[in-house]
Structure 1
Amino acid sequence: MEVGARLRLAVLGPVRAWRDGAQLPLGPVRQQAVLAVLALRQGLLVSREQLLDAVWGDEPPSTGHKVLPTYVYGLRRSLDEAGVGPAASVIRGERGGYRFAGDGARLDVADFAARVESARRARASGDPAGAAGQLADAVGLFGGEPLAGLPGPYALTERQRLLQRRRTAHLERLDCLLLLGRFTEALDELAALTAADPYDETSLALRMRALYGCERQAEALTVYEDVRARLRDELGVQPGEELRRVHEAVLRQDD
């Protein structure tokens, strides 16, 4: 029997698991946090000390080395198929730690990475429409905040990293929309992005391009002047090369 067959895990939102389409109980949040550490390091041995640091940080439980086997036992009961013993479990116990060995398991974060890579290949081959579709699918895999509700420094760090990967994919999709001439569609999303982060020069450059594509050249130039003043007055810096290049192109009316 293939280990992990028909097992699916999601971390791009609340941590969840399914086998054959049926959702599995994963227990308390710290038990879920242990699963997240192991699953996101699939195939790698994670020591007990690393797990304790990842889930509890500077305040490990006094019975930490007893708590971990209890959590692993609970996860095995939920994730493994009936009749599977510890030696063939999705979570293998090895000297000093544990390893997530779900070779046949599907992780949504792996699906996300595969779709982004496929989109980049499509973009490089001259298919921005295909790339935009793949990137939309990739971003759509997020079911809210990654690792939602999980405690510990590892979850905090991974949450920020995954959110940044989602933002990058989102911006790449918007760039593809601009290449396709879908300026108005992109502009609506870019307005929200730049409002949330008025210092992000990549999204501001995309917004200027979208405004120019909508024949709103004066507004595109105003975006640049506003951000230049804000960067100068608040951070003491000038806009970066990307933003300056778009500004010059708008001035030249360079499509």
Structure 2
Amino acid sequence: MPTTTAARGVPGTTVLTADEREVLYALGCGLGDAEIADALALPAHVVAERISRVLGKLGLSDRAAAVVHAFDCGLVVPGQGPRRPTRTPGSTAVRRTGTASGPWLRVSLLGPLRTSLAGRPVDLGPLRQQAVLAALALSAGRPVSRRRLLDDVWGREMPDGNVVPVYVYRLRKSLRLGERPDPVIRRDRYGYALPRGVAEVDVLCMEDLVTRSGEAERAGDLSEAVRLCARALELFRGEPLAGLPGPLAESERLRLTGRRVALAQRKAGWQLTLGRHAEVIAELSALTREEPLNEPVAATLMHALRRGDRRAEALAVFDRTARRLADDLGVAPGDVLVRARRAVLRGDGTGTGRVRAGAA
């Protein structure tokens, strides 16, 4: 149940987080706790906690008052929000009816490509056809020309015939919900597009969470910044776009993998400032096993170990990383790793390894 752009700025809901606005919307639509948990794929206790926060922040006495508030502030419009969950056969997912946002579609790219329609997995056909949908999902609602799709998905291996229109036609059929006539993939004179609001794309959700975490940092709420950053990292399910062919998929794999590492460092910097050294050590120890040549990650782990009075382990991280750099790349450790080692040996408070807000 995605939060609409309009809902974000609704008067009377600005004190709520996006997650809390989702719950208020669901209450306004007449859904009970179990139905909200089902719709948002959340445990029942989390739903109860969010409802409690909504009531507290808005100064409302009970659920009935929340329903009235949802209508009064325009978050739910009479006749346009479902009064009961609308379900498709064999599905427990809820989708909004009477809106122009299209079918309830999710596209997950932060791992192997996964697509679900009204809660059910969708078979997207051949790999190149899947890559076409991925390219449209990554365009964030902007039209992509036929020529650009050919370059992004096929590169130098240009196909014969009208393969792009054929693949788009097949995707439209696969992604159509029930008897709805409007296609998920739209076309205009600029090309094909998966318009914003039609699908929930995990890459865009991740970037929204990152933006909100930066806002929380600037507001001085590092705990909230850590929480939001953690949610962004949880969206990663392995190698992004794993197995998809084409130049775009390859470049996005590299970019999003780097994005994940940068976010982990950013979160670690905030955690160190909050004194949560044990969390940083556990999380970055796992990340250094995945990224053994990443010097900034190793340096941040060393600072966390030093702050936790585990100097020997911190120096072991330096030695291990230096050996891998020499064996795999034939280079010596860089300044960031050398400075971390000096800080460990001195045992001082310099070189905290904190990541700047804009680094991610």
TM-score for the superposition, normalised by structure 2: 0.61
Does the CA-based 8 Å contact 1:231-1:239 persist in structure 2?
no
Aligned-partner Cα distance in 1 for 2:104–2:320: 53
Q: Which has the higher contact order (CA 8 A, sep 6+)?
A: 1
Does the CA-based 8 Å contact 2:131-2:249 persist in structure 1?
yes
Which SS does the other structure have where 1:9 is aligned? strand
- Unaligned runs of at least 5 residues, structure 2: 1-98, 351-360
Match of 1:69 among 142, 165, 176: 165
The residue that corresponds to 1:39 in the other structure is 137
Cα distance change, pair 42–184 in 1 and its aligned pair in 2 (3 A): closer
The Cα of 1:20 is off from its aligned counterpart by 2.6
Cα distance change, pair 39–126 in 1 and its aligned pair in 2 (3 A): same
Aligned-partner Cα distance in 2 for 1:89–1:225: 57
User: Do residues 56 (structure 1) and 154 (structure 2) align?
Assistant: yes
Does the CA-based 8 Å contact 1:7-1:105 persist in structure 2?
yes
User: Do residues 81 (structure 1) and 172 (structure 2) align?
Assistant: no
Deviations 1:46-102 (A, max 9, x none): 221211121111111222x2x2122111111122334444xx422122336322224
Cα distance change, pair 231–30 in 1 and its aligned pair in 2 (3 A): closer
Deviations 1:184-213 (A, max 9, x none): 332233234334444423112211211111
Superposition map of 1:204-215 within 5 A: 204-215=298-309
Which SS does the other structure have where 1:69 is aligned? helix
The residue that corresponds to 1:94 in the other structure is 188
Give me the identity figure in percent.
42
Superposition map of 1:100-249 within 5 A: 100-221=194-315, 223=317, 239-240=334-335, 242-243=336-337, 246-247=340-341, 249=343
- Residue type at the aligned position of 1:4: G
Cα distance change, pair 144–227 in 1 and its aligned pair in 2 (3 A): closer
TM-score for the superposition, normalised by structure 1: 0.83
- Residue type at the aligned position of 1:182: R
The Cα of 1:244 is off from its aligned counterpart by 5.3
Aligned-partner Cα distance in 1 for 2:239–2:169: 27
Cα distance change, pair 235–73 in 1 and its aligned pair in 2 (3 A): same
Question: Bigger shift: 223-232 or 193-202?
Answer: 223-232
The Cα of 1:232 is off from its aligned counterpart by 8.7
Root mean square deviation, CA, Å: 2.8
- Unaligned runs of at least 5 residues, structure 1: none
The Cα of 1:238 is off from its aligned counterpart by 6.3
Q: Which has the higher helix share?
A: 1
Does the CA-based 8 Å contact 1:128-1:176 persist in structure 2?
yes
Match of 1:30 among 122, 125, 128: 128
Cα distance change, pair 186–235 in 1 and its aligned pair in 2 (3 A): same
The Cα of 1:151 is off from its aligned counterpart by 1.1
Does the CA-based 8 Å contact 1:15-1:147 persist in structure 2?
yes
User: Do residues 4 (structure 1) and 99 (structure 2) align?
Assistant: no
